[in-house]
Amino acid sequence: MYQYIMRRLLLTIPVVIGVSLLVFSLIRLLPGDPARALAGVTATPEYIEQVRERYGLNDPVYVQYGNFMRGLVTGDLGVSTFSRRPVTTEIGERFPRTLTLASLSLLIATVVGVSAGIVSATRRNSIFDNASMFVALVGVAAPVFWMALMLQLLFAVQLRWLPATGMGGISHLVLPSITLGMASAALMARITRSSMLDVLKQDFITTARSKGLAERVVIYKHALKNALIPVVTVLGLQFGILLGGAVLTETVFAWPGVGRLLVDSILRRDYPVVQGTVMLLAFLFVIINLVVDVIYAFLDPRIHYQGQDN
Amino acid sequence: MRGIVKMWSVTTVWMLISLIAVGSVFAGGAQEAEMAEERDTLTIGIGAEPESLDPVNMTSAPAATVGEHVVERLIYMEEDGALTPMLATSWEANEDSTVWTFQIREGVTFHDGEPLNAEAVAVNLRRFVNPDVGAAYAFLLGTVESIEATGEYELTMELSQPFAPILAHLSHSFIGIVSPAQLEGLGPNDTFEIPIGTGPYRMTEWSRGEQIVLEVNEDYYGNISEIPTIEFDFIPESSALIVALETGEADAIMRVPPQETDRLEAIPEIEVVYESSVRTIYIGFNNEKEPFNDPLVRQALNYAVDKQAIVDGLFDGVFTVADAPVVPAVFGHESVGPYEYDPERARELLAEAGYPDGLDMTLHHPTGRYLLDATVAEAVQDMLAEVGVNATLETREWSSYLEFTSQPPEEAEYDAFMLGWGTVTLDSDYGLYALLHSRQWNPNGNNRGFYENERVDELLDEARVETDRETREELYAEAIELIWEDAPWIFLYNQGQINANRTYVEGLIHHPLENLSAWDAYFAE
């Protein structure tokens, strides 16, 4: 297992280099000049030239990439061309906010999704089953943007229960995390349901029932444990997706996390911030994947990895 | 299997946490309602976050709006364009207006306790014009040669040549004076986050991406503002901005989209404020490229567009049809237009120019930069089709749009482009010289359509150095008439601005420079 983890960790290096090349070249392939985006419509040519000089934008691309990679290794991601603050500071301030939002969304998604999935599976084809699977379908399909506006209108404007935008107490987190967690909850409900249905067909469940165990014990003690294995995998991957996918939610709810920072920075052609943010998200995604794989191996003794001693 | 058991108990714990969370949500909601009752904070929702509040790095309207509460200039520009004393109490020029002497206000202290004097002002202005610092708006003081403190409270400024709009330029929001202690030891590329000024409010917090918090300055030399705390909240999505005002999370918001005004007008607790702005929206022609190098074609297209229909139909009559290349509030404005909507005349002119069957062109426009810009471009396209001009629309995202329209004449591919320009000094020099003088052709300046008229160049040059106001007005009047005749643009409309606030907020200043100022604001019962 240790060997396996080490090998996977080493594999992240080419992945990170690949991502860095991709991000670095993609943002530079976009038309639009960062100096001009910063300086605005009234800028003088002298000023634009000065900005290019200041941020090394006149250097050949391979020099810029070299500087970027050197910075990456030493933990210096450069300075934002927009705010002139270090990129690590910009990201450091906002990442905890995105982490909070993603964690709460995942919590909601897990609680709602898993419970709905269990009930649906045990009462298959009941009204509840059909209704919750329909809601799940809508949850997966509804655009985040629309969902966010509807929730704002209902809970903030009509009912006045919750604030619509910004940061503050935990009340500010409710609508964004529901919005963000909705699609994940729907996915989890569907996966829990199908996984549960699979398990319920297995012989050991029949055995448990024939032993005369109460249905409650059969479901929660015997079936659920096994049914949750695929759910845990999805849960991990969803966390990665939620971290990177909070862009729309953060924009609509004016939640100042890394997602919004990324979008704003792309529009401003703020190369250093875009590079730094994408690198961070990519790196997290790789790590989360690794953690999920490892947890998976712990959970399911049937899984073996190459190179592992038998 | 132990792993799963653990995992399951973790889920149970999470369920408990979520119950607690739901509980505290309602507690939190109640708390907020209470706070609103007391009303010691004015919350203003703005769309974009300032890039910086260091005067030498400021470039945007949101930065100006926030900064004005904290950092002051020598001179203030009133809503009607009048220039009144701020940190300078009086000023005078020598005979040929090349040496200006300013009396600096006495008894003023910065928020850190440092005293204001002529030397403090000089340090700031020298930093602003220092080429190594590279302030984006250093060109505003481009004619300034030297800045000296010639007395404890006397500042003398020498210009390389007479420059008539210098006072208006000094009133610009970006030429703010901060505490000299804050600038001490700063290298040319160094900056600071929280400016220490002399303004009616001091800045206490900048939570990036979220808000800026200001507290009232109890030691202000003028009237002490009534509202203890002002918050500027950054809400990028305009629908969310409106929701924030509806729920009362924001007490005032800026830049309401015109199509949302009906909804807000219907709410009795909300007041919608319509104010003019200094921004003109136009479609520039590439005057160097056929067929747009022919004034007849350019005039024809001006006649072909029904500006009034656009203003009434899309902007509920809040905006006005342009009757000059600058808005009426600008010094030197001369009403010479509009080109009345006349498709018949447009067809005649096109035929006269050799295009009896019309022509094909590409119209470039931004999307989302100006209110309903893409919709306006579509309307123009329809109207041009009426006279046989087949316009293909092309849009680009803003930063690439700016680059695309900044090419030198031999590389510029565009036929026509839509843009806006705010004459923020309220002086025609800022609007006409930068956009229409032939020395300002791309890539040297902002004459993106390569307009050139020798007589116009002469008039604009003369008006720069002429100090007599009446003579200047005459010079600009003649220039504007010639420009109008040449029709280097399709002159579209003067953009207005729409803000909104809760009715219990009184005394807000909705400035034509697109600033929202709250130092005179108070909460009415």
Q: What is the pLDDT of residues B186-225, one digit of tens each?
A: 888 888 999 999 999 999 999 988 899 999 999 999 999 9
Kindly state whether residue A229 falls inside one of the protein's structural domains: yes
pLDDT exceeds 90 at position B143: no
Predicted pLDDT at A39: 67
- Reduced to 3 states (helix: H, G, I; strand: E, B; else coil), residue A17 is helix
Kindly state whether residue A48 falls inside one of the protein's structural domains: no
Measured in degrees and rounded to the nearest 5, phi and psi for residue A290 equal: -60, -45
Kindly state whether residue A291 falls inside one of the protein's structural domains: yes
User: Which of the four pLDDT bands, split at 50, 70 and 90, describes residue A30?
Assistant: confident
What b/e sequence results for B346-364 when a residue is b if at least 16 CB atoms lie within 10 Å of its CB, and e otherwise? bbbbbeebebeebbebebb
Predicted pLDDT at B115: 95
Q: How many CB pairs under 8 A join A and B?
A: 183
Q: How far apart are CA A177 and CA A106, in angstroms?
A: 8
CB contacts of A253 in chain B (<8 Å) are 240
Kindly state whether residue A219 falls inside one of the protein's structural domains: yes
CB contacts of B402 in chain A (<8 Å) are 32-33, 36-37, 40-41
Q: What is the pLDDT of residues A138-169, one digit of tens each?
A: 888 888 888 888 888 888 888 888 887 877 77
CATH number at residue A265: 1.10.3720.10
Kindly state whether residue A112 falls inside one of the protein's structural domains: yes
Predicted ipTM of the assembly: 0.77
CB contact under 8 A, B397 and A257: no
Per-chain mean pLDDT for chain A? 83
Enumerate residues 6+ apart whose C-beta is below 8 A from A26.
none
- Reduced to 3 states (helix: H, G, I; strand: E, B; else coil), residue B178 is coil
Kindly state whether residue A32 falls inside one of the protein's structural domains: no
A268 vs B341: which has the higher pLDDT: B341
Residue B216's H or E segment, with its range, is strand B211-216
CB contacts of B4 in chain A (<8 Å) are 225-226, 228-229, 299
* pLDDT above 90 as % of chain A: 4
Q: What is the pLDDT of residues B50-67, one digit of tens each?
A: 888 999 988 888 899 999
Quote the minimal CA–CA distance from B465 to chain A in Å: 21
Average pLDDT over residues A186-205: 86
Predicted pLDDT at A78: 85
As a whole number of angstroms, the longest Cα–Cα distance in chain A is: 86
Kindly state whether residue A51 falls inside one of the protein's structural domains: no
CB contact under 8 A, A93 and B208: yes
Select from B509, B490, B482 the least CA-distant residue to B449. Answer: B490
Average pLDDT over residues B34-42: 69
pLDDT exceeds 90 at position A212: no
pLDDT exceeds 70 at position A96: yes
CB contact under 8 A, A225 and B419: no
The secondary structure of residue A79, as a DSSP letter, is: B
Q: How far apart are CA B31 and CA A109, in angstroms?
A: 28
Select from B414, B451, B419, B418 the least CA-distant residue to B432. Answer: B451
Q: How far apart are CA B485 and CA B191, in angstroms?
A: 47
pLDDT exceeds 80 at position B360: yes
CB contacts of A32 in chain B (<8 Å) are 397-403
A175 in Cβ contact with A155 (< 8 Å): yes
Per-chain mean pLDDT for chain B? 87
Measured in degrees and rounded to the nearest 5, phi and psi for residue B127 equal: -65, -40
Q: What is the pLDDT of residues B75-87, one digit of tens each?
A: 999 888 889 999 9
Q: How far apart are CA A139 and CA A127, in angstroms?
A: 18
Q: How far apart are CA B255 and CA B246, in angstroms?
A: 15
B168 in Cβ contact with B330 (< 8 Å): no
Q: How far apart are CA B425 and CA B77, in angstroms?
A: 9
pLDDT exceeds 90 at position A208: no
Q: Which residues pair with B151 in a beta bridge?
A: B154
- Whether cis (ω within 30° of 0) applies to the bond prior to B443 is yes
Structural domain of A277? 96-299
Predicted pLDDT at B470: 87
CB contact under 8 A, B240 and A31: no
Structural domain count of chain A = 1
Kindly state whether residue A23 falls inside one of the protein's structural domains: no
Average pLDDT over residues B331-349: 89
Q: What is the pLDDT of residues B407-449, one digit of tens each?
A: 888 888 899 999 988 888 888 888 898 889 988 887 777 888 8
Please give the residue of chain B at the shortest CA–CA distance from A226: B4
Q: How far apart are CA B280 and CA B324, in angstroms?
A: 9
Select from A69, A67, A93 the least CA-distant residue to A18. Answer: A69
The secondary structure of residue B323, as a DSSP letter, is: S
